[in-house]
Amino acid sequence: MDRDEFSLGRLRLDIAKRQLTRDGSPVQLSTRAFDILCVLAGANGELVSKDELMARVWPGVVVEENNIQVHVSALRKALDDGKNGDTYLITVPGRGYRLIGLKPSRSAAGDTRENLPLSAISSKPLLAVLPFQNMSGDPEQEYFADGMVDEIITGLSRIKWLSVVSRNSSFIYKSKPVTITEVAEKFGVRYVLEGGVRKAGNRVRITAQLIDAKSDTHLWADQYDRVLQDIFALQDEITMCVIGAIELSLRKAEIERVKRHRPTNINAYDLMLRALPFVLTHIPSDSAIAIPLLEEALVLEPDYAAAHAFLSRCLHHRYARAGRLEEDRAAAIRHARSAVAHGSDDATALAVAAHVIALDAHDASTAVNLFERALELSNSNIFALSLSATVFAWMGKAEIAVERAERAILLSPFDSYNFRSHHARAIAYFSRRRYKDAVDAARQALDYNPRFSVGHAYLAAALLRDGQAAEAKSAARAVLQLEPTFTIRGLQGAELEPSVFQGFADAWRELELPE
């Protein structure tokens, strides 16, 4: 997507700031509709096929073609506004779409890097780590290369003077040809790290190179051949080489901060990597796949904080969404507390555990303290920001919830886990009776995670209170289609501030969702 500003008659599009305004007033668009607009704007009036839109807006996700039609319809309505007959979005039957009438805005002149999303919120050096290539020739080893990137990002994000794009955001380029310039422009970063991983037997070969995107020069590059048991030391070494190349006066305290505790058993680590994709969907059927993998990891390494945290997460979903068995709730809390006990230096483990402790143990004060500890370790951790935003929203602290959620979105605008951030915004806006904003936030959450039934429940409540009864009933039907066992009682763990939950519960009862 282009980074410039464009004018379209009375409209102005600022891609860098992710804003569309009409006569200076914001025009509300869902995330996907805005992404489609950006792709079309970047084509400079040329035709963009449906297949290209699918690839650019829903990377790596299989979606039905009517998803494009729905968002294009909403986008056309927002652009045209029905007032002066101007049409900016043209459908070319059987081929695709064109955006016409674009003109560069005069205010786009000058150094546009100052307007890029991350630069707008941070004066720190900015870095993106691209997906490492799986050079083993075995597609089943893909998860290992992805895990390597995840660990390096985690290490880098512990450096307080450095801001790092989240893994899910940078992974929009997975298995795609890309230039360093494109990455730098999309994320507003100064530095890009790329590399490759080859795993064979008990050995691993890793190549890595750090590039200064501004000057297009290599700051550092190296190749490593190690036994698999040395993988964590190697991750730390690569991390320290990267930050050392950016900041020559690397301080001892920062070196120690990178060297966080990791499992000693490489097989436990491997099991956790295999489980992770199924943990993060928040779908009980996916949790059922992850649970035995994480339990096996904990047999091998009983004090593995990340495994405890993600297992607590899966058990929480099984409790809340698949039966409300007291044994699942107790086990979720137990593993969350184990994650805290063994993960004092793991921001993600602390944040995931805090969320479970808040909702299942109803201990909001402990959860808030854990979130703060996580953000002290890593102030750009997507889990700490988005999950704390959700907890604050349910506590009735709408302002801090929105601030945390928007910070997560700005730091990593393409992170699929931001559905949690948009959920937090939806809850916060709903509690403040800003129902139109709640509708928009709930829809943006569903753009990221359309299979999550609770997201449809938030949308249904917001639509009802916004006076859109028919659409609310449709959203309520979607809840039960996705989760036939859904009940209002199943969400009562969110009663951190009863008045907030009561507002949703009343709306759900009016929509005749099961008690």
Contact 47, 98 (CB under 8 A): yes
> Collapsing DSSP states into helix, strand and coil, what is residue 303?
coil
CA dihedral 117, 120, 125, 131 (to 10 degrees): -10
Report the 10 Å Cβ neighbour count for 2: 20
pLDDT tens, position by position, 131-175 = 888 887 777 778 888 888 888 888 787 776 777 888 778 888 887
- The amino acid occupying position 461 is A
pLDDT in tens, 8-56: 666 788 776 677 887 777 787 877 888 888 888 877 677 788 778 887 7
Report yes or no: 309 and 300 within 8 Å, Cβ to Cβ.
no
Q: What tokens appear for 134 in the block? A: 């799986």
Beta-sheet strands, E only, within 44-180? 48-49, 89-92, 96-99, 103-104, 126-129, 133-134, 163-164
The answer to whether the beta carbons of residues 183 and 216 sit under 8 Å apart is no
Say whether pLDDT at 411 is over 70: yes
Give the distance from CA 245 to its chain's centroid.
Answer: 28
- 63-67, 94-98, 223-227, 480-484: lowest mean pLDDT where? 63-67
How sure is the predictor about 85, in pLDDT bands with cuts at 50, 70 and 90? Answer: very low
User: Cβ of 478: how many Cβ atoms within 10 Å?
Assistant: 18
pLDDT at 389: 94
Reported as a single tens digit per residue, the pLDDT across 206-220 is 888 888 887 778 888
Element at 35 (helix H, strand E): helix 31-42
**Interior angle at CA 348, CA 457 and CA 458, nearest 5:** 10
User: 112: pLDDT confidence band, cut at 50, 70 and 90?
Assistant: very low
Q: Among all chains, which residue has been given the structure tokens 């058990």?
A: 315
Alpha carbon distance, N-terminus to C-terminus of the chain? 45
pLDDT at 121 over 50: no
Q: What is the mean pLDDT of residues 47-73?
A: 75
What's phi and psi for 380, nearest 5 deg?
A: -115, 20
Q: How far, in Å, CA of 302 to CA of 300, rounded?
A: 6
For residue 355, which of 282, 408, 304 has the smallest C-alpha distance?
Answer: 282
* Domains and their CATH numbers in the chain: 5-108 (1.10.10.10), 116-258 (3.40.50.10070), 262-379 (1.25.40.10), 400-515 (1.25.40.10)
| pLDDT at residue 242 greater than cutoff 50 | yes
Which is more confident, 275 or 82? 275
Give the whole-angstrom CA distance, residue 173 versus residue 168: 10
- How does pLDDT run across 327-378, given as a tens digit for each residue? 999 999 999 999 999 988 888 899 999 999 999 998 988 999 999 888 888 8
Most confident of 270-274, 313-317, 416-420: 313-317
Q: Which residues does 71 contact at the CB level (< 8 Å), separation at least 6?
A: 30, 32, 33, 36
Give the helix, strand, coil percentages of the chain, each rounded to 5.
60, 15, 30
Work out the mean pLDDT of the chain and round it to a whole number: 80
What is the pTM for the complete model shown? 0.64
| DSSP result, 355-408 | HHHHHHS--HHHHHHHHHHHHHH-TT-HHHHHHHHHHHHHTT-HHHHHHHHHHH
Amino acid 296: pLDDT: 94
Kindly indicate the confidence band of residue 79, based on its pLDDT and cuts at 50, 70 and 90: confident
Residue 260 has pLDDT above 80, yes or no: no
